[in-house]
Amino acid sequence: MTAPSPPAAATLAGLFAVGCRRALAPGETLFHQGDAADRVFLIERGRVRMIRHLASGEAVAVHTGRAGELFAEGALFAAVYQCDGLAPEAAVVVACAKEDVLEAFAASFSLGLELLERVTRQLHAARALVELRDIRSAEERVLRHLRLRADAAGVVAFEGRLLEAAAELGLTHEAYYRALAALARQGAIRRGPRRVQLLRPSQPLQTETRV
């Protein structure tokens, strides 16, 4: 069933209000790498991950979209999706045809600015992850990632499994757990169920292990 053409919208929320809603089960794929890129999504609930399959056969997690964020906005200027879109947990997304989205942007300067702001924030986050993956020490890589994700009280609450955080950093889950244990021994963090408290937010780290 085809969604009606969107009316002029002043915000992205208004634009996607008439989109097609889709519920995703845990582990369900929204689209596959190489599929025709014909839709852009707004994540209404849950999270969706971008998984890129390399020529080597390796699958790399390149981005995790969260509730309230646009997802696969690169489809606006691409013929095919460059990654798989996979829901690690139950999620709900709203889809809009990319032709409708581009038409709305052309008609609204403020809407274009909102998209630019969102994409810029996501780009900064992606660049930060790339920089973290270049850090050789597993403990330093994990600690800096925790500092990026911590709230004002220095607490990091994990939305999904720690395995997902490890994948974001290019670490195996064994290396990630070892790094957390080392950080706890050094007094840099305190671990709890699905959360970590930073204890020394800015103090230099004495690393123990290498990747």
Q: What is the pLDDT of residue 202?
A: 58
* Confidence (pLDDT) at 72: 93
In whole angstroms, how far apart are CA 39 and each of 71, 91, 102, 120, 198? Answer: 10, 17, 11, 20, 40
Task: Name the β-bridge partners of 60.
Answer: 52
Q: At which of 109, 131, 153 does a domain end?
A: 131
Specify the pLDDT at position 36. Answer: 97
Q: Are 68 and 97 in the same domain?
A: yes
Q: Which of 131, 160, 189 is the last residue of a domain?
A: 131
Give the DSSP letter of residue 3.
Answer: P
Average pLDDT of the chain, as a whole number: 85
Indicate whether 38 belongs to any domain: yes
> How far apart are alpha carbons 127 and 130 in whole angstroms?
5
Q: Are residues 163 and 119 in the same domain?
A: no
Same domain, 76 and 169: no
- In angstroms, what CA-CA distances link 62 with 43, 44, 93, 123, 129? 17, 20, 19, 11, 9
Residue where a domain stops, chosen among 131, 149, 166: 131
For residue 185, the enclosing domain spans: 135-198
Do 49 and 115 reside in the same domain of the chain? Answer: yes
Greatest Cα-to-Cα distance within the chain, rounded to the nearest angstrom? 58
Instruction: Count up the domains in the chain and report the number.
Output: 2
pLDDT tens digit string along 64-104?
888 988 899 889 999 999 999 999 999 999 999 999 888 88
**Statement: the pTM of the whole predicted model exceeds 0.85:** no
Taking only the tens place, the pLDDT of each residue in 15-72 is 888 889 999 999 999 999 999 999 999 999 999 999 999 888 888 888 888 898 889 9
